[in-house]
Structure 1
Amino acid sequence: MNSSTTIPTSTDVFDIGNYTTTLIKVEPRVCDRNGCNPPRPLLICSPSETGFFPVLLFLHGYLLYNSFYSQLIRHIASHGFVVVAPQLYSVAGADATEEIKITAEISTWLSEGLSHFLPPHVEPNLSKLGLAGHSRGGKVAFALALTKSLKLSALIGIDPVDGLDVGKQTPPPVLTYTPHSFNLDGVGVLVIGSGLGEVKRNAFFPACAPKGVNHEDFYKECCRPAYYFVVKDYGHLDVLDDDTKGIRGKATYCLCKNGECREAMRRFVGGL
């Protein structure tokens, strides 16, 4: 299938792209005779038009739902990507080992099952696979990439967090505090940080992306090629949808120091 017939004409990556997108929810089935059952529930956003599109595996933050990122992944998909956002867990403790394992299983499943759930004439280009994660999902993305079990085209950490503080990393620790220690065999890395992530909202809650275990430290350990952006006046959860529902959704407005609105942060992250 020739991807050249579906290249968007828009050059402004910070606006919604030219592809019409469709959001697809996939639930694992108890009995799967077709062999295409995913290891975890998925939220997939794909262009609706015919094409051969790169794939981005996107990992949610700690105790968040993948649906909270619907607007962000729609933005990305509208520029010609298939975005796969698994729900890694409903409840989790401090240890992220199981999430790393599950993400590896999902990445293996992509070649076997993803095409079964995409719109007709949409083909995933898994030779161009990117891995991205927000918050703890960023930590998981780096941890899996460092195993070198995946062939990645790009690795993206969106305000990644490796624990509560220096010396209080959550298992398994990813940061080594050795500059340029992340040897990813030339995979391009993008780290995006929030300026307000390391600021406490109030005296009762810790910072959501504490200094010493956040984006700055992840970038320092990256090898070239690596790129780093900090969105100064926005917070750790400003990449989420404008309206996040339920108890967890409401909590996203009061746990972290936030910027004035979420749209600007989403557009910046989606465009990069």
Structure 2
Amino acid sequence: MATRTVNEAPLVVIVGPTASGKTGLAIKVAQRFRGEIISADSRAIYRGLDIGTAKPSMKERDGVAHWGFDLVNPGERFTAADFKHYADAKITDIRLRGKVPILVGGTGLYVDSVVYDYTFTAVSNDLELRAKFEKKSLAELQNYCNKYNIKLPENNKNRRYVINAIIRKGALPQKNTDKYKDKILVGIMTDKATLKERIRNRAKTIVNDATINEAIQAARTWGWDNEAMTGNIYPLVRKHVAGELTRSELEEKFCTLDWRLAKRQLTWLRRNSEIAWCDLEHAYSYIAQRLADR
């Protein structure tokens, strides 16, 4: 790749649904073009939750620097605004060291907050008010929004997102002038059958004794009802430990949850007309050509 000044270093953005192969693609690009990866995954920010959140192992990272993992303990608040601040600083740092920043993830709000330089309205730090809504079920929170005409967030199945929407009274983050004009924005396009197969294969890898032990240990430290433990595979492991689900039932339900997640992610991402959608093979060729031409 041609020598570039710090300010000219492009921002590569790779998005797509869960299990679409984003991480492997990002590592391949990073190895060829001296890149470093910033994970935009709201599951991966928590310490102690590694296997169940599908963080790549050190071996899988294959010598490529990864950022965005293990930022907070379960139970600590970490918002999209916090992620934006973190990612902006990392992008600057990576560029200053003459490398290419690669933002990768399926959490749409995290990605958009960086790419489009969102300004977030202040979320109340009134812990008493927040605690009031934390006691309500998801259905009660959704009904509250309907009653008071509060716009639900895109991911209206996430209690934390719904609570934040209530506290902000439905105000959405504001999109500013495009901060990262020099960017390559690619989405991984996968047909339905292939994506379902990838989700099922990954479930077979994740649902094992190590994941179950990880969940049990995390629950001992932070509790099963911790926000970080109420999503993804962990509620299913809780039911398995309680004897309510067999191992095969856990795996099957996990596949269903991940498929629903993938559909929500795609709904968010498809709104963005700037994304160039490619299959994995052509996504690499597209990114490599764009970087080589600069």
Question: TM-score over 0.5 for the alignment?
Answer: no
Q: What TM-score do the two structures reach when normalised by structure 2? A: 0.35
Q: What TM-score do the two structures reach when normalised by structure 1? A: 0.37
Q: Greater strand percent: which structure? A: 1
